[in-house]
Structure 1
Amino acid sequence: METDRSASADSHRARIITAAARLLAESGREAVSTRAVSAAAGVQAPTIYRLFGDKQGLLDAVAAHGFAAYLNEKTDLTPSGDPVEDLRTGWDLNIGFGLANPALYALMYGEPRPDATPPAALAAAEVLAAHIHRIAEAGRLRVDEERAAQLVHAVGGGTALALIATPEDRRDLTVSDLAREAVIAAIITDAPALAVPGPAGAAVTLRAVLPQTSALSANERSLLKEWLDRIARC
């Protein structure tokens, strides 16, 4: 009996998300009302509240579902031997995702919620963090990982939203290329950071590979991480 109820809830959830995603893509966020979604999904409005809590919970679920489906379709996300080139690929995929799914992208990034980041935006941040970490491991990162990720996120997201807001016949996609290369120049060195004089580059690289060491206790690793983060920001 419990299994039947769970299967029914999953079925309702999938239908509701599919219906809401279709309304979002066709007519924008304002079209995703509880009444419209319940009618399109063939469920009662209370079912939506029971499964998603409120309209924002439903919108978050739609965004997470859409972004996950997009990632699953992109085999280009498989890491190559060049983490910097992988960052370029990730940037271009982000811009492409935004232009192909403007309402969904605006849902993820158009209304910042510092107290409750949408699940889809969290998933995107994890993908970005993985790109940045691989660059740090290669000794190519000029600044600490958190700062680098924040800069790529801010400029990449702003560029995508600006292009979305520009009529298609007036979009200049070379703006994205220029922004991408400016960010890469700001956070990445041409040679491994250890070849650059000064302690900051060495701290960034050592911080990236610190989890690989077994010579330190957990407390020692935590303390060293704190010191390296401080040095990297100098």
Structure 2
Amino acid sequence: MPRVKQRTEALHERGLASAMAVLAEAGVAGLTTRTVAERARASLPAIYEVFGDKAGIVREIFFEGFRLLGAELAALPPAADPLEALRRLAEAFRRFLLAHPMLAEVMFSRPFADFDPTKDEARAGAKVRRIFVQHVRNAVDAGQLDGDPTDIALIFFTLVEGLAAAENAHRLGGSKQSSDRRFRLGVNTLLDGFAT
């Protein structure tokens, strides 16, 4: 009797969940096709069949990271004040990056030599970019910020991502209080700089 192929949606989901768990627990160095297969209780050939190779696994992690981040940011409750909404957006983005440091590394630092995102992969963050641009546009339309919403949103996003990366690397301060203070100082200074 021929062996039943394991290439199923269930194996894809199990493999992706396993890859995310391995990344979170063992970091970039611990993420191999073999560790993902072992964690998913699947054969190595089955994982290769579903994901292609290690770069395929990393690609799926990359997409899943942006899907999770987009969903989290989209679920933020609205705020009457657009600047307060931007501060809440910054804090939510920061929380996500601090809660998932290895995932953030895959999404923003490209630590795998065999995974170089193409234009298609770059589109993975489109929802996140739209959320940032819309929040900034609301502040511009309300007369609270002055400038091109896309430019401001990109600078704002980059600042928050950079501050969170520094915090993950323990370069933003030796205590939560000092990290919080410096993070808010950075966000408020940027917003003040674009104020009308």
Query: Which amino acid in 1 is paired with 2:35?
Result: A
> Structure 1 residues 82 and 26 mapped into 2: Cα distance closer, same or farther (>3 Å)?
same
Tell me by how many angstroms 1:178 deviates. Answer: 0.7
2:144 counterpart of 1:145: no
**How many residues in Structure 1 have an aligned counterpart in Structure 2?**
184
Normalised by the length of structure 1, the TM-score is: 0.67
Aligned equivalents of 2:126, 2:55: Cα separation in 1: 16
Per the alignment, residue 17 of structure 1 pairs with 16
Let me know the Cα RMSD of the aligned residues.
2.9
Aligned equivalents of 2:192, 2:117: Cα separation in 1: 28
Tell me by how many angstroms 1:53 deviates. Answer: 3.7
Alignment of 1:1-234 (within 5 A): 9-69=8-68, 72=71, 77-111=76-110, 115-116=118-119, 117-118=121-122, 121-166=125-170, 170-171=174-175, 172-189=179-196
Runs of 4+ deviating beyond 6 Å = none
Indicate conservation of the 8 Å contact 2:23/2:30, yes or no.
yes
Indicate conservation of the 8 Å contact 1:23/1:31, yes or no.
yes
- State the identity as a percent: 27
Tell me by how many angstroms 1:91 deviates. Answer: 0.3
> Structure 1 residues 140 and 168 mapped into 2: Cα distance closer, same or farther (>3 Å)?
closer
Normalised by the length of structure 2, the TM-score is: 0.79
Query: Which amino acid in 2 is paired with 1:51?
Result: V
Aligned equivalents of 2:68, 2:146: Cα separation in 1: 33
> Structure 1 residues 85 and 60 mapped into 2: Cα distance closer, same or farther (>3 Å)?
farther
Aligned equivalents of 1:154, 1:72: Cα separation in 2: 19
> Structure 1 residues 114 and 132 mapped into 2: Cα distance closer, same or farther (>3 Å)?
farther
SS at structure 2 position matched to 1:40: helix
Tell me by how many angstroms 1:162 deviates. Answer: 0.6
SS at structure 1 position matched to 2:143: coil
Q: Which runs of 5+ in 2 are unaligned?
A: none
Indicate conservation of the 8 Å contact 1:20/1:62, yes or no.
yes
Tell me by how many angstroms 1:19 deviates. Answer: 0.6
Query: Which amino acid in 2 is paired with 1:34?
Result: T
Aligned equivalents of 2:174, 2:67: Cα separation in 1: 30
The structure having more radius of gyration, on CA atoms, is: 1
Query: Which amino acid in 2 is paired with 1:83?
Result: P
